[in-house]
Structure 1
Amino acid sequence: MDHHSSRLTRLHAGPQPAPPSAVFRAVADVSSIGDRFELGVGRVEAGWRPLTDLFTDPGLLEQRIGDVAERLGTAEARVAASILFQKFASRLCSPLFGAAVAHGLLIELDPGRVHWRAAPDGVLPLRTIDLAGWEVHAPARTAERLYRTVVPGLLEPLTEAVQAVVKIAPGLLWGNVASALAGTVRALARVRPELTGAALALARELLDLGLLRETGALAEPAPGHPFFVRRSCCLYYRARDGRKCGDCALADPDARRDRWARAVRESHGA
């Protein structure tokens, strides 16, 4: 088989395993972008819990929701459950999204090998025992493969677990995932502005798939300033010091227009 034919075979055969060194370098690089992108790799010590414990232990999940409720100053379990879920969605999505955009790698996370631990500041550190990754040779299918890893693989089981202990609308939870994804795009745009176009393109594709479809709209009113409006509310405004978030469906339209106009002005250095 000649070189050209070999290359065509790779392009149509789907993702190819990435060298472990490339996977570790990509994760280390993406982790340096900010807290939401951090993913530790290696042996776990006392205090770390498998992510699957949250899927199977209602008592553990109730305890975590109770801790968040106390921190938020709310007696409504659904408010705390929503915020906790959105935090997990952000932490599970961001490292994988960042690696796909910045390095063309699809990182594989087995929920049985991903660990988390509670932190007083609510950051939710994540650590995985090992890592595998795939090189993207067909960019048109990146969103589909990333969606399968994050949504059915990691977040659907967590959604079902949350709904088993708290009465909360599924549309709200998937809106939280969309909002977390939009926050990831904004974070990338701030720190790695050269990736803004690729991040927006991939996020828009993800938001058109499965359970994320019709959760919100992602726009770019000015270069480098992603702007998202969701079709649900995370309920944060019901917390003690809460407010309506900038992407909230309940936000005042005038306030939203002001935010849009500010993004445009900032892009022109006004």
Structure 2
Amino acid sequence: MDLDPSLTALHRPGGFFVLRTAGAPGRRLPTLAQAYGPGGPDVHGDALAARVRRVADALRTPEPRVAASVAQQGLAARLWSVALGSAALYGAVPDLAPRLLLWDPEGSAPDDLWLTGVRPLPGDAATLAELVLRGHLEPLAGALRARHRLAPGLLRGNAASALAGAARELDRWGRGHGRTDVAARATALARELLAHPLLSGTGTLTGTAFRRRSCCLYYRVPGGGVCGDCCFPRPPRSSPRAPSA
């Protein structure tokens, strides 16, 4: 199936799936390729640092690495939602190369993204892995680890959790709107992607429920607790160096 220029089908499952393809953002924004690059001399010249600061302020957390983890998972959720949603709804996915995606690091959640051109690609797991895992989540993880003390296992777990969450929402929407084909395709793609070497071993998918083997550190946010897929049954006692791998 072809992609329509506005990707209108992605509006149906909810805000995490929406990808803007028209209308100027109103101000100059960085591409994600620029955001994944080396950091600037200060937060104003570093889009990724600006996003972490924005998340830290919203969560009221004094720990930059906690904000960095939450920021990474939020962006991963948007990228997976767009890619998996397109594959499940259209049978194709737009080219999501970092240089083609504009990003507003100062925006609210979910992350604001604009695609500068719609070029359809196959909607199979191999293409999704190349676009999202290789194209985005690997360089994003590298950029965050260069700035913050984050374990690789934590970031891989965040990526897997974000994928499982997108599949779960598509399953819920598909079953609720008589689109069991969408639900089935999203779940099948998620299973195949979770077996990818970059995500293998991050957790267990049972039906649409995912249990990860790492912690995203959200429990360290003031008033936060454990997430629904956390490896911890209850918030661990805080310590100067929390478990993160």
Q: Normalised by the size of structure 1, how large is the TM-score?
A: 0.77
Any conservation in 2 of the 1:72–1:241 contact (CA below 8 Å)?
A: no
| Correspondent of 2:90 among 91, 95, 103 | 103
Query: Does the residue aligned with 2:7 lie in a helix, a strand or coil?
Result: helix
Query: Does the residue aligned with 1:116 lie in a helix, a strand or coil?
Result: strand
Aligned sequence identity (%): 37
Query: Does the residue aligned with 1:167 lie in a helix, a strand or coil?
Result: coil
Tell me what 1:33 maps to.
13
Shift of 1:196: 2.2
Q: Rg larger in 1 or in 2?
A: 1
Tell me what 2:132 maps to.
150
Q: Tell whether 2:149 aligns with 1:167.
A: yes
Any conservation in 1 of the 2:5–2:118 contact (CA below 8 Å)?
A: no
Shift of 1:47: 4.4
Q: Tell whether 2:192 aligns with 1:205.
A: yes
Any conservation in 1 of the 2:5–2:21 contact (CA below 8 Å)?
A: no
C-alpha separation in 2, matches of 1:86 and 1:95: 14
Any conservation in 2 of the 1:31–1:95 contact (CA below 8 Å)?
A: no
Alpha carbons of 1:126 and 1:149: their partners in 2 closer, same or farther (altered >3 Å)?
A: same
Q: Tell whether 2:211 aligns with 1:229.
A: yes
Which residue identity is paired with 1:28? T
Query: Does the residue aligned with 2:36 lie in a helix, a strand or coil?
Result: helix
Any conservation in 2 of the 1:119–1:125 contact (CA below 8 Å)?
A: no
Which residue identity is paired with 2:19? L
Tell me what 1:23 maps to.
3
5+ long unaligned stretches in structure 2: 235-245
Shift of 1:112: 0.7
Q: How does 1:64-213 map to 2 (within 5 A)?
A: 64-118=51-105, 121-135=108-122, 142-193=124-175, 194=180, 195-213=182-200
Shift of 1:27: 2.3
C-alpha separation in 2, matches of 1:197 and 1:63: 38
Any conservation in 1 of the 2:212–2:229 contact (CA below 8 Å)?
A: yes
Alpha carbons of 1:242 and 1:130: their partners in 2 closer, same or farther (altered >3 Å)?
A: same
Q: Which has the larger helix fraction? A: 1
Shift of 1:62: 2.0
Q: Normalised by the size of structure 2, how large is the TM-score?
A: 0.85
5+ long unaligned stretches in structure 1: 1-17, 137-141, 221-225, 253-270
Alpha-carbon RMSD across the aligned residues, in angstroms, is 1.8
How many residues matched? 222
Tell me what 2:238 maps to.
none
Q: Tell whether 2:30 aligns with 1:52.
A: no
